[in-house]
Amino acid sequence: AQSVTQLGSHVSVSEGALVLLRCNYSSSVPPYLFWYVQYPNQGLQLLLKYTSAATLVKGINGFEAEFKKSETSFHLTKPSAHMSDAAEYFCAVSYFGNEKLTFGTGTRLTIIP
């Protein structure tokens, strides 16, 4: 069975500081990995995805994530946080032949002015 674990249900960073949101996956086959963002009172929208091409994936709004097979990780980063980044972020996994996403429990990101 596939699963993802997001470390830290709440993360706070200062405006302009590095954002690092952690995601580790469990999958017995090569995974597809996703990061979604949910702004208040909105649905989820895709930030970026890894589908077995380049291991460093760039997404919208300056976010990127690196697939590290040896560490079974897919951490999300952004060099400089902006107030508009405050939201909840979800990591998700699927794989070829079972394209139903399994979500992590989410990380709420707070930006400190």
Partner 1 sequence: DADVTQTPRNRITKTGKRIMLECSQTKGHDRMYWYRQDPGLGLRLIYYSFDVKDINKGEISDGYSVSRQAQAKFSLSLESAIPNQTALYFCATSDIRNTGELFFGEGSRLTVL
If one asks whether residue 46 binds partner 1 (CB under 8 A), the answer comes out as yes
Dihedrals phi, psi of 21, to nearest 5 degrees = -115, 130
Q: In the set 7, 61, 69, 96, which binds partner 1 (CB under 8 A)?
A: 96
Rule CB under 8 A: say whether 43 interacts with partner 1.
yes
**Residues in contact with 84: Cβ distance below 8 Å, sequence separation at least 6, in sequence order:** 61
Q: Which is nearer to partner 1, 73 or 102 (CB)?
A: 102
The count of chain residues that interact with partner 1, using the rule CB under 8 A, is: 23
Q: Which of 56, 83, 99, 113 forms a contact with partner 1 (CB under 8 A)? A: 99
Long-range contacts at 16-20 (CB < 8 A, ≥ 24 apart): 16/80, 16/81, 17/80, 17/81, 18/77, 18/78, 18/79, 18/80, 18/81, 19/63, 19/76, 19/77, 19/78, 19/81, 19/85, 19/109, 20/75, 20/76, 20/77
Is 94 an interacting residue with respect to partner 1 (CB under 8 A)? yes
Tell me: does residue 55 bind partner 1 (CB under 8 A). no
Binding piece for partner 1, criterion CB under 8 A, among 16-24, 34-42, 56-64, 78-86 = 34-42
Binding residues (CB under 8 A) for partner 1: these are 9, 32, 34, 36, 41-46, 49, 51, 90, 94, 96, 99-106
